[in-house]
Structure 1
Amino acid sequence: MWIGWLEFDLLLGDVRSLKEKRSVVRPIVAELRRRLSVTAAETGDLGLHRRAGIGAAVVAADRGHVVEILDAAERLVASRPEIQLLSARRGLRRSSDD
C-alpha cells in the first residue's frame, strides 16, 4: 500500500475577513475531494485571513497512481486564479517502510 500527501501553502487574493477566506478555501477543498477522491482539509494558518494551508492525502496499491493523483491535485490548486500557490510539500511512503 502507498500513502501520499501534499501540503499547500496559499496566499489568498482580495480577502478581508475569515468569513471571506472560508468562501475561497471551502470550494478548493471540495473540488479536490470531488474530482480526485482524496481526503482534503484546511490544515494551517486558521487564524490568518490572507493565508491558508490545505492538506490532501491519498492511499492506493500502486505508487504510480498515487503520484498521478498528487500531480493532478497540485495542478488543480495551482490553476485557481483567486489564489497564489506559495509552496507544495509532498510526501510518499510505502506502508511497509519503517
Structure 2
Amino acid sequence: MWIGWLEFDLLLGDVHSLKQKRSVVRPIVAELQRKFNVSAAETDSTGLHRRAGIGISVVSGEHGHLVDVLDAAERLVAARPEVELLSVRRGLSRSDD
C-alpha cells in the first residue's frame, strides 16, 4: 500500500476577512475531494486572511496511480486564478517502510 500527501501554501487574492477566505478555500477543498477522491482540509494559516494551507492525503495500491493523483491535484490548485501557489510539499511512503 502506498500513502501520499501534499501540503499547499497559498496566497489568496483580494481577501479582507476570514469569511471571504472561507469562500475561496472551501470550494478548492471540495473540488479536490470530488475530483480525486482524496482526504482534504484547510490545515495551516487558519487565522490569517490572505494565507491558507491545504493538505490532502491519498492511499493507493499502486505507486504510479498515487503519483498521478498527486500531480493532477497539484495542477488543479496551481491553475486556480484566485490563489497564488507559493509552495508545495510532497510525501510518499510505502506501508512496509
**How far 1:42 sits from its partner (Å)?**
0.2
- Following TM superposition, by how much is the alpha carbon of 1:66 offset from its aligned partner in structure 2, in angstroms? 0.4
For residue 43 of structure 1, what is the aligned residue in structure 2?
43
Secondary structure of the residue aligned to 2:92 is strand
**TM-score, length basis structure 2:** 1.00
Q: Does 1:95 align with 2:74?
A: no
The 5-angstrom pairing of residues 4-83 of structure 1 reads 4-83=4-83
Distance 2:38 2:67 in 1: 12
Q: What is the distance in 1 between the residues matched to 2:74 and 2:93?
A: 18
Q: TM-score, normalised by structure 1?
A: 0.99
Q: In the TM superposition, what is the alpha-carbon distance from 1:30 to its structure 2 partner? A: 0.1
Q: Deviations over 1:11-45 (max 9, x none)?
A: 00000000000000000000000001010000000
Give 5+ residue unaligned stretches, structure 2: none
Q: How many residues align?
A: 97
Moved over 4 A (4+): none
Q: Which runs of 5+ in 1 are unaligned?
A: none
